[in-house]
Amino acid sequence: MHSTSRRTFLGAAATTAGAMTLAACGAGSGGGGEIPEEIETDLSAEISYSIWDPAQKPAMEKIVAAFNEEYPDIAVSISVTPFAQYFEKLQTQATGGDLPDVFWMNGPNVRLYAAEGKLQDISEVPGLDTAKYPQAMNELYTFEDSQFCVPKDFDTIGLWWNQDHFEKAGVAAPDENWTWEDYAQAARDITAALGAEGIWGGANGIENQAYLYPLTFQAGGEIISEDGTTSGYDSAGAIEAFTFARSLIADGALPSIQFTTENKPADLFNSGKAAMLWSGNWSAAVFKDSPVRDAIRTAPLPQGAETVNVIHGIGNAMAAEGSNKSAAAAFLAFLGSEKANLIQAEEGAANPAYEGTATAYVESLPEFDLQMFLDNAADAKPYPVSKNTAAWLSLEADYFPRILGGEIEVETGLKELATAMNEALADEQ
């Protein structure tokens, strides 16, 4: 078992990112025995597959159907748990030794689960070629020289906007030259023009990956140091970014933190109650069924001092202690195949990680210009993580609303957050 600080696990509070306290176990291929070098197609078994996005379930069901053309006797049951509860449920399952056979994993959690021996080393799964996936995604899911997830997709951030609202408010459309101030002025103008109809110029809330991380990077700040030992929230760039975000709420261009806590920013945009939203290409799977779909457009993010984006992605993981490991390995390998990636691409579910399969994704929803999200990768920084990311994500969840809501001053709050985050990072060493 990889060594882990007891304080790190017991001191982490539960968050939507999934802080956890796990019972220790051996790493590697326990529970269901060794995985054979070749898995026979007449294998009979029942396995579970857990995901968190209901919008992607239809695509996952088509992937299971295609898998059953090769392995007709392996029954795969898909369960969907909303992201807000997903990692809390996964923690309970991991602690009880009852993880799903195959399940979605993200960057903030993979190292913690891997350190506790809960994830299968995918080098032991036959039929996988990690060279087919973006190197940044392979690295995201690697811990102590072993890779524990098969990259499923990758995402970057763009500006989603409602053309009808812009035209009605008499505001010029966003373009690749937009700055923070262009965005702020458009938000003010649209709110002033359409606010009486319950329409906001924009809605972002306290989203980290889609909003506050890109802002911080664009201002030259950082979230965590490159070696993962210190917080960057007390950097000048972070202070500048949060000051800007706070100003948009203070002057009424964007709704209050209380309002976006009760009304999710994505829901406001999806229902036509917000003209702009900073979000990733994962939103395409939801917005394709939006009542205002015909008005939805995308544009590059407004930029600060630097042109920077954020890249992340979902990974498919397999339980190290599963009782049906051969069947789970066969399914995991299929999930990482070109065929499975093409299915999710054609369904518009997500931007596939497998090389050469993105064209179908871009063409699935041409009006959303999904190619932009692929191109963003050239200027993207990896989603910031550490060994126990969840410990300091819980600190973000505490400080972000108080800072942006005006309860505490920006610089004071960020310095307090940085101090608390440094303590959490010290526990990882």
Q: What is the pLDDT of residues 287-313, one digit of tens each?
A: 999 999 999 999 999 999 999 999 999
Residue 373 lies in a domain: no
Are residues 166 and 205 part of one domain? yes
Contacts of 171 (CB under 8 A, 6+ apart): 186, 189, 190, 193
Pair 204, 299 in one domain: yes
Does 73 lie in the same domain as 37? Answer: yes
- Scanning 132-210, the segments in alpha helix (DSSP H) are 135-140, 163-169, 180-194
pLDDT band at 27 (very low <50, low <70, confident <90, very high): very low
Residue with more model confidence, 22 or 320: 320
Question: Averaged over 235-261, what is the pLDDT?
Answer: 97
pLDDT, the chain, mean = 91
Q: What is the pLDDT of residue 161?
A: 98
- Are residues 261 and 187 both part of a single domain? yes
Is pTM beyond 0.75? Reply is yes
List, for residues 95-116, the tens digit of each pLDDT value.
Answer: 999 999 999 999 999 999 999 9
Same domain, 41 and 171: no
Same domain, 171 and 133: no
User: Is 70 exceeded by the pLDDT of residue 267?
Assistant: yes
Place 377 in a pLDDT band, splitting at 50, 70 and 90.
confident
More confident residue, 17 or 190: 190
CATH of residue 180: 3.40.190.10
Q: What is the model's pLDDT at position 123? A: 95
Q: What is the reported pLDDT for 1?
A: 29
Is residue 391, in this structure, part of any structural domain at all? yes
Write out the H or E segment, with its range, that includes residue 344: helix 338-346
> Same domain, yes or no, for 193 and 149?
no
86 found inside a domain: yes
Q: Are residues 278 and 171 in the same domain?
A: yes
Quote the pLDDT of residue 322: 87
Q: How many domains does the chain have?
A: 2
Does an H or E element contain 50, and which?
Answer: strand 45-51
User: With bands split at pLDDT 50, 70 and 90, how would you rate the model's confidence at 404?
Assistant: very high
Q: Per residue, what are the HEC states of 363-388?
A: HHCHHHCCHHHHHHHHHEEECCCCCC
How far is the CA of 284 from the CAs of 75, 95, 158, 276, in angstroms?
29, 34, 11, 14
Question: Could you tell me which of 371, 419, 424 has the C-alpha nearest to residue 393?
Answer: 424
- Identify the pLDDT of residue 429: 78
Residue 416 has pLDDT above 60, yes or no: yes
* pLDDT at residue 19 tops 70: no
Same-domain check for residues 278 and 133:
no
Residue 296 falls inside a structural domain: yes
44-89: per-residue pLDDT in tens? 999 999 999 999 999 999 999 999 999 999 999 999 999 999 999 9
pLDDT at 315: 97
33 — pLDDT class (breaks 50, 70, 90)? low
Domain that holds residue 324: 6-154+312-354
Say which range, 265-269, 348-352, 405-409, has the weakest mean pLDDT.
348-352
